[in-house]
Chain A
Amino acid sequence: MNHFDEMSCLLYLEGQLEKDRAREMADHSATCAGCRALLRALQTEDVWLREALSAEEESVPARLMEAPERGGAPWGWITALGLAAGGMYTLWSGFVEPWRAQAEQAGFTQGNFLTMLFFSGTFWKGWDAMRSLMEFMAVATLGIVVTWLLRRRWRHVTATGIVMGSIVFALAGAPPASAADVKHGQPNYTLAAGEEVKTDLIVFADTTRVDGDVDGDLIAWSRNVIVNGHVKGDVLAWGADVRIKGTVDGNVRSWAQTTTVSGTVAKNFMSWSGEADLDEKGRVGGSATVAAGNSTLGGQIAGDVMAWGGEYELNGSFGRNVLVHSEKLAIGSAAQIAGTAKYEGRHEATIADGAKLRSPLEFVEEKHGPDYTEWRYYWHQTLLWGASFVFGLLVLLLAPRFFFDAQDACKKVVPAAGFGVLFVVATPIVAVLICFTIVGIGVGVSTFLMYLVAFYSTQIFVGGWLGEKLLGASTGIAPAVGRLALGLGILRALRMLPYVRIAVFVIVLVWGMGGLVLAFYKRIRPQLAPAV
């Protein structure tokens, strides 16, 4: 005769079996001493458990004697928010604000920080593109919220699929950005003198030559870009040789082997070039930001000058402050600097006799590595630790499961390192490639911003892992916070050591990124139904 298993016996005792099955059980147990014994034992265990759990041996603590009138002060949250505010301030004042200020000096002055992030909204199509981007971000945010709201009702994959499908549908239905005149040179493109393009002009050609007028932006990818005519918007140029001989009412931004300005730029000039020159006739109405191997700035610049690179020669007229960070600096006899002049480099600058400087050149000799004798250095490191800890705390509180997943994934050293290398290298490349497909700039920039967040977050996963390694495994948030603090502290200390710090930085980046990727993969891979 078949005996009933323990599960059936328990369900029978708990009154959870169907009638027929219960009757069967009753009939069987009447004749089977073994099953009867098991039923009796389980029933005794039931009573035993109830009595053990109901026993009132432990007195109620004194602090619970009075009824709670209001919630206690959320000191934990107040502390966390305080730390978060401090961390955010540190990040903002230490990193974001200086960059924002520099970018503003470089001419990205059309509004807020977000605008600056997207190249003042004129990178592709001005405010239209910005609007499209904002629409995309709004729809994406809405999608995330909807997914979150529906997560309990629908299977995760189904909900995600529906929401993502809706986003794609919404974006596909959005009106395209306003038209630009796109030209493909065969192989060259020339806008002849007297001709005018009434909109933005985008050119892909071997040589782009603009002798006529462009009533909008000129965006050119060419080996040679020559502007002899009049561009009423900005000029954005990628090429081997970029020459601005005519008039540009907006900004000039170039990424080139050689950039030469001998015409007039009404707003700002920015260039990343092997060689960037502003010749004697060149005029820049705003500021100049130059990163170049060699550069001669001989014309007039009404605004600030900010320059990095190899060798610089200043021999023009500069209306405001000049800051140069380079190997060498020579200030010629024709140079006139109306503002302050500051030079950071390894060699003293040479200043010709005829040069007119409002104040003496401030020279800061560049040193390699941190100054360990300076207390500010340690304070700065402490703040950086604090910022990373607060960031880790936020991730831990907001997405604890993901945090632990990523931290655990770091234990798989080889896969984490492999995926880490791949994603550290590949993600920015993919982001840039997406940006270069005009439709995908929003996605590309978002990818890049997410990459930066991931970049920063790598330390918290490795730090958490390190803390756990040192203090042992734990359960719950509170122990994890302590381990995170310790791990981050050790990582920060290691990154203060000479020679070692770069290796530590790279290892943490690669390793943490791998953990992050593996944790993401765990989230999105198909889930099997749990065994019952």
Chain B
Amino acid sequence: MERRKTTGEMSATELMEVLSQVRAGDADAWGELYRQYGPAIFRFCRRALPSKEDAEDATTEVFMKVRQKLGTYDSSRPFTAWLYKVASNHCWDMLRRRRIRQDLETGDLETLPLEHPDPSQLERLMEEHTSKQVRSGLEKLPDRARMALVLRYYADMSYDEIGETLGVRRAFVGVLLLRARHQLREALGQGGAEGVRGAAVGERA
């Protein structure tokens, strides 16, 4: 699956040329690369981090890292995959440094049993909430849950990549995503819509 959006249209050949020029220290090429990918990375950071200010700082820092590490980029792999990897590692490092309290407070959630959703209520929940509301709900999630959703549904990362970034086993990524979805539904449900948790699965019996 193709990686997440970038703002402009740049062919693979053009990209390689730009990267080559950036490595050679060409400031214009660096500006071009930033214009191409900066907005997407800002949006990624905006979704992964709890505040806009954090996202702005992170975007700048991610690109500084990109510039430093560009020599390590393997051109046989998609550039966006590498770029998102750098960004996700950076954001996760930021969150790890800050999340201590939250983890302690939400650690028990990991062991709570999840109840099956009622498909019709789930669909109603989706109909009732705009994209903006979803992103607001995302901000209320614990760091790891939010990060998992962003890595999967914004950056299109594989389970292996997500596991590597978040430091969990691949087998646990599915659990993480499912719990994150539940937490998001809960957050949105608390925001006014009828909650979806606790719906019986009687109709499937």
Per DSSP, chain B at the interface is helix
B195 to nearest A CB, angstroms?
15
What is the count of residue pairs linking A and B with beta-carbon distances less than 8 angstroms?
139
User: A10-B178, A48-B126, A68-B63 given as contacts; is B56 within 8 A of A57 (CB)?
Assistant: no
On whether the beta carbons of A473 and B101 are closer than 8 Å, the reply is: yes
Q: A6: which of B99, B114, B138, B149 is its contact (CB, 8 Å)? A: B114
| Interface flag for B14 (CB, 8 Å) | no
The CA of A148 and the CA of B159, in the complex, are separated in Å by: 28
B150 proximity list for chain A (CB < 8 A): 53
On whether the beta carbons of B104 and A408 are closer than 8 Å, the reply is: yes
Fill in one digit per residue for B61-76: 1 if any A CB lies within 8 Å of its CB, else 0: 1011000000000000
| Interface flag for A20 (CB, 8 Å) | no
The CA of A7 and the CA of B5, in the complex, are separated in Å by: 28
On whether the beta carbons of A71 and B64 are closer than 8 Å, the reply is: yes
On whether the beta carbons of B56 and A64 are closer than 8 Å, the reply is: yes
| Interface flag for A49 (CB, 8 Å) | yes
Fill in one digit per residue for A400-436: 1 if any B CB lies within 8 Å of its CB, else 0: 1100100010000000000000000000000000000
On whether the beta carbons of B98 and A477 are closer than 8 Å, the reply is: yes
| Interface flag for B203 (CB, 8 Å) | yes
The CA of A476 and the CA of B63, in the complex, are separated in Å by: 24
B138 to nearest A CB, angstroms?
8
B78 proximity list for chain A (CB < 8 A): none
| Interface flag for B92 (CB, 8 Å) | no
Question: Quick check: which of A33-41, A223-231, A370-378 contacts chain B, the rest being far away?
Answer: A33-41
| Interface flag for A353 (CB, 8 Å) | no
The CA of A55 and the CA of B40, in the complex, are separated in Å by: 11
The CA of A6 and the CA of B122, in the complex, are separated in Å by: 13
A45 proximity list for chain B (CB < 8 A): 122, 126, 181
Fill in one digit per residue for A53-80: 1 if any B CB lies within 8 Å of its CB, else 0: 1111110110110111111100000000
Residues of B within 8 A of A (CB): 4-5, 27, 30-31, 33-35, 38-39, 42-43, 46-47, 52, 56, 59-61, 63-64, 97-102, 104, 110-111, 114, 116-117, 119-120, 122-123, 126, 130-132, 134-135, 138, 149-150, 153-154, 159, 171-172, 174-175, 177-178, 181, 184, 201, 203-205
Residues of A within 8 A of B (CB): 3, 5-7, 10-11, 14, 16, 32, 34-35, 37-38, 40-42, 44-46, 48-58, 60-61, 63-64, 66-72, 400-401, 404, 408, 473-477, 530-532
